[in-house]
Amino acid sequence: RLVLASSVGDRVELPRDEGLASLRDTLAQRRGVERDDTEVAVIPDDGIRYDEVIETVDAVVASGFVHVALRDR
């Protein structure tokens, strides 16, 4: 699963089987209401493959967010 959460406490869980297309759509909607300096943190669970992490970061950037951080748990 993919979880999209914000610092104000809202949280959206996206089924993993919907893939990155669902993530991109949700991020694009969020991008329309977020400030330009909003940081997005990608925090993968243990066991997530490296290529999946990179694909997720790429989806965030493609959605218009330019401040992307990769963090661990």
- What is the share, in percent, of the chain residues with pLDDT greater than 70? 99
Nearest-angstrom CA–CA distance, 26 and 20: 10
Give the position of tokens 């748990």. 73
- The tens digit of pLDDT for each residue in 24-59 reads 888 888 888 888 888 888 988 888 899 999 999 999
Query: Which pLDDT value is given to residue 1?
Result: 66
Residue 47 Ramachandran class (φ > 0 left, ψ -120 to 50 alpha, else beta): left
Contacts of 2 (CB under 8 A, 6+ apart): 13, 14, 16, 22, 23, 56
Q: Is the Cβ–Cβ distance between 25 and 59 less than 8 Å?
A: no
Phi, psi of 12 (to 5 degrees): -130, 125
Query: Which pLDDT value is given to residue 19?
Result: 76
